Amino acid sequence: MLDVSHNFPPKTKALLEPKRYKVLFGGRGSGKSHSVARMLVVLASTKPMRILCTRELQMSIRESVHKLLSTIITSIGMDDFYHVEQSGIYGANGSQFIFEGLKNNTTKIKSMENISICWCEESEAISESSWDLLIPTIRAQGSEIWVVFNPSDEMDNTYQRFVAPYLGELEANDGVYENKDITVIQMNHVDNPWFPEELKKEMERCKVQDYKKYLHIWEGECIADYDDSIIDPLWVRAAIDAHIKLGFKPQGVKSLGYDPADGGRDSKAICVRHGSVVTHGKQWMTGDITTGTNRAFEIAEELKVTDIVYDQIGVGTAVKDYVNRLQGRGQFTVTGFNASSSPEKPEHKYMGDRPNDEVFRNRRAQAFWHLRDRFFNTYRAIEHGEYSDPDTLISLSSEIEDLKVLISELSRIQRKRNNNTQIQIESKDDMKRRGMPSPGLADSLMYAFANPPINPHQESDDWSVAINA
């Protein structure tokens, strides 16, 4: 087996296990293409292979990876083994690198036989029809398709086909997912031990000048992820350890939000906040509703929370009976959250403007919008020095176990546009239709801030103050 302990980013060692599909995606400077080229050059020297190097459009050999491969052949001292020609690269053992575009060479692609590995570069541009043509063509015994790309739009066929189905697992497992057919690896600049200093300077400039652009170019996020997001990723970034930056401490209500998952590939999740400080956030895929709920209660007991708020819609209804049996276990209030119910305190005015029932479509929209307000207030306090009562802010502890997943989910929650003026947030089903996993951690965070008042008879002109009293 090829030794990848040297000269290859550690994540790429997963490429050596035989799989039908091997997918590398992420941002600039990650070393994806360079690593694949180097690995294929070395692999093809160990046994005869036919490697098709392709992309959606290739009008000339200059638009292919020919130059990259020839440069690597020279850099690792294999000029004597490989014969580099303008139209192809040939190994002394019979290995061959072939270069063709997909879109304008359908007949030629269809007729290709005995392809060992197909390397698809800049795969974000490969259309559904091209994939449907290519995949059955690569049919030799043990043949593989290597897919390399920088994500563009989350609805691109390549992203939907090779990344979206596994996004939840990727976020939970440091950007690597494997099953018997596919290996998916998310690679960014942090995964490249040889990330150039000049690129690092360029990246840092981009991060300061345009954070959303930075997330797309350097962190490999889809452009569409943030087009209509209700919580700006800049606000989320500002909220990390905001209590330390602004000098306030966790105090008051200790609320745990619990999302029991809708089933399938969805994860169960909990978030715990102490006052305005989110101290814990964790998701897990294993176990049924009973074991998941029991685990949430165990965490609540361990952390001595004052409240548990859980999703009571869908699978959550099955949780209700079990919750009733567990009620006496801890000194906390347990409340079900009904996302489709009417807004809390419908007659009270939001921001002194219109009544809540005119502003918000349902309780989910109201609760997420108040969470949005906290992030915005925190951003203004951190970045612009505007004072806000800590009870109106939010701080995400940098010690949260699944902080990276939580940040990603919060930045992808989008507003759902409708024909009236009410604010509506996309549902979990809406997110799944655009290829996004269920935002279990983001939902559990929203539940954690939606606990009822300590005094159920307490009244307030401001719903957000009332629920967090």
pLDDT tens digits along 126-175: 999 999 999 999 999 999 999 999 998 777 889 989 998 888 788 878 89
- 372-399 mean pLDDT: 93
- Residue-averaged pLDDT of the chain: 86
And the tokens for 175? 């950007």
For the full predicted model, state whether its pTM sits above 0.95.
Answer: no
Residues ≥6 apart with Cβ < 8 Å to 249: 243, 275, 277
Cβ(270)–Cβ(302) below 8 Å: no
Beta strand 333-337 with 254-259 is unpaired
- 335-339 mean pLDDT: 90
In the chain, which segments carry CATH 3.40.50.300?
Answer: 10-191
For tokens 């009620």, name the residue.
Answer: 327
296: left (phi over 0), alpha (psi -120 to 50) or beta: alpha
User: pLDDT tens digits for 423-436?
Assistant: 888 877 777 776 67
CATH of 228-467, one of 3.30.420.240, 3.30.70.2190, 3.40.50.410, 3.40.1190.20: 3.30.420.240
* Rounded-to-integer distance, Cα 309 and Cα 288, Å: 19
Q: Could you tell me which of 274, 324, 275 has the C-alpha nearest to residue 297?
A: 324
In the chain, which segments carry CATH 3.30.420.240?
Answer: 228-467
Which helix or strand (DSSP H or E) is residue 226 part of? none
For tokens 């409340």, name the residue.
Answer: 335
90 or 328, greater pLDDT: 90
Q: Indicate the angle between helix axes 289-303 and 316-326, nearest 10 degrees.
A: 50
* Rounded-to-integer distance, Cα 254 and Cα 252, Å: 7
Fold of 10-191: Rossmann fold (3.40.50)
